[in-house]
């Protein structure tokens, strides 16, 4: 799972997800971590949940969810995690699947995107170096953030996302992390280039 946002449990229930092999965190902003308390349901079934994050993000999670990381006087119902540090240029092995971290910037904040073979998921990108773009070449499906039409200091707008997609050249791209100010789905979709689609909640993609 990538990130653990506030609607985590809604998404799990809507999609009948019964197991989590690990959580890859992109960064520590609230909209990407605030579902973490609800991982207890999955912890009760399978034990400690492996989490993967930059050391800065792990520090932030420890502050916000101290009871999850506590080593003594633990609350008996609290979930527990197994912490794995993610470093750029070091691939992760998650249940036999190689995951490649992609380093990007969200204004000045470092954020990780992740490539899983022919699929890559990047969110909260504003800038990305060419050497990181190279790590994405050859993906079939790319998911990337596109907040709105107007420029934003820390997110790609639609134009910037489309320029980035043109560099990566995936077979299909999906735009996510969309602001309500972007417009109505059908109208915005009609303006997008071929093979670029607006993502939506509970979207399923065949790989
Ligand atoms: Zn963010
Ligand atoms: Zn965000």
In the structure, ligand 1 is a single-atom ion and the residues with CB under 5 Å from it are 29, 124
Tell me, in angstroms, the distance from the centre of ligand 2 to residue 83's CA.
22
pLDDT at 36 over 90: yes
Query: Stretch 40-61: mean pLDDT, rounded?
Result: 97
Under the banding of pLDDT at 50, 70 and 90, the label for residue 44 is very high
Tell me, in angstroms, the distance from the centre of ligand 1 to residue 106's CA.
7
Tell me, in angstroms, the distance from the centre of ligand 2 to residue 74's CA.
31
SS3 content of the chain, % helix, strand, coil (to 5): 30, 25, 45
d(CA 143, CA 174): 5
Global pTM exceeds 0.75: yes
Picking from 108, 109, 120, 112, the residue whose alpha carbon sits closest to that of residue 89 is 112
Tell me, in angstroms, the distance from the centre of ligand 2 to residue 125's CA.
9
Chain segment 15-33, per-residue pLDDT in tens: 999 999 999 999 999 999 9
Tell me, in angstroms, the distance from the centre of ligand 1 to residue 78's CA.
26
Chain segment 102-123, per-residue pLDDT in tens: 999 999 999 999 999 999 999 9
Tell me, in angstroms, the distance from the centre of ligand 2 to residue 87's CA.
20
15 C-beta neighbours (distance < 10 Å), count: 11
Tell me, in angstroms, the distance from the centre of ligand 1 to residue 105's CA.
10
């Amino acid at each position: 799972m990538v990130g653990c946002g506030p609607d985590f449990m809604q998404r799990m229930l809507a999609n009948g997800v019964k197991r989590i092999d690990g959580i890859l965190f992109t960064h520590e902003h609230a909209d990407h971590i605030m579902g973490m308390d609800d991982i207890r349901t999955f912890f009760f079934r399978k034990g400690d949940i492996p989490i993967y994050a930059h050391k800065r993000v792990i520090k932030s999670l420890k502050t916000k969810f101290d009871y999850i990381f506590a080593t003594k006087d633990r609350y008996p119902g609290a979930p527990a995690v197994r912490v794995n540090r993610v470093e750029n240029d070091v691939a992760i092995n998650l249940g036999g699947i190689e995951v490649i971290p992609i380093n990007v910037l969200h204004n000045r904040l470092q954020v990780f995107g992740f490539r899983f073979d022919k699929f890559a998921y990047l969110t909260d990108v504003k800038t990305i170096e060419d050497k990181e773009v190279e790590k994405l070449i050859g993906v079939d499906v790319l998911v990337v953030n596109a907040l709105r039409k107007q420029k934003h200091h820390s997110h790609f707008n639609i134009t910037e996302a489309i320029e980035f997609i043109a560099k990566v050249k995936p077979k299909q791209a999906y735009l996510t992390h969309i602001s309500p100010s972007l417009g109505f789905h059908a109208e915005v979709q009609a303006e997008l280039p071929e093979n670029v689609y607006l993502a939506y909640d509970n979207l399923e993609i065949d790989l």
